[in-house]
Amino acid sequence: MQDSSELWRTWLAEYGNRLMLFARQQTRSEADAEDVLQVALVKTWKTHLGAPDQKVLSLAYTNIKRCAIDLARSTDSRRRREDESHRQTGEMVTWFELPEDDTSRALQVALSKIPKKFREVITLKIWGEQTFEEVGKALTISPNTAASRYRYGMEALRRSLSLERLEIEL
């Protein structure tokens, strides 16, 4: 029989990429996503000592969202303080990473153009492989709301990708 730490390693190997993708959707940078994911996983582990089960995944998604909100609030407060003290230095530039291949880049750009409430449901449903019930728990919304946001989000994503294709052809 595997010990608890081995079960968690196996669980993380299986779900880590999905969790990281969701963390990227919730944060402003790759470094923030990594930090949020790490803090959220520690909170998840502390809350759910013992072997991981299916409930742990929903809890992890919920913790990622909460940690991202906390980080954003903290970052916004710090940025306001810095802006106030550095008004003469000009505008700060935010750098971000895009995927290397054109398809992934186009999809990420299109995702960034749709409202966050749709984007997070699509991310959890498609890449997180969550049911609408699990998405609802993670985002503290009803499963019906999750399903509606998914439908509206997919339509918005289709429109965004169609417009982008049209712009390229022109």
Q: Judge contact between 164 and 109, C-beta under 8 A.
A: yes
Query: Which letter, b or e, does each residue of 148-170 get, where b requires 16 or more Cβ atoms within 10 Å of its Cβ?
Result: ebbebbbebbeebbeeeeeeeee
10 backbone dihedrals φ, ψ, rounded to 5°: -65, -45
Instruction: Work out the pLDDT band at 99, boundaries 50, 70, 90.
Output: low
Residue where a domain stops, chosen among 97, 131, 158: 97
pTM for this model (two decimals)? 0.57
Containing structural domain, residue 125: 98-170
Stretch 30-47: mean pLDDT: 92
**153 vs 1, residue with greater confidence:** 153
Choose one of 74, 97, 120: the last residue of a domain: 97
Q: What is the pLDDT of residues 83-98, one digit of tens each?
A: 776 564 444 434 345 5
Where residue 111 sits, what CATH number does that domain have? 1.10.10.10
Count CB-CB contacts under 10 A for residue 129: 11
Output the six-digit token pair for 78: 């710090």
Given a contact cutoff of 8 angstroms between Cβ atoms, the answer to whether 122 and 160 are in contact is no
How many domains is the chain partitioned into structurally?
Answer: 2
Please say whether the beta carbons of 147 and 132 come within 8 A. yes
What's the pLDDT at 141? 96
Average pLDDT over residues 6-23: 91
155 pLDDT above the threshold of 60: yes
Mean pLDDT for 10-33 is: 91
User: Cα separation of 153 and 118, whole Å?
Assistant: 5
- My answer on whether 58 and 104 are in the same domain is no
Do residues 107 and 93 both lie within one domain? no
- What is the chain's mean pLDDT, rounded? 83
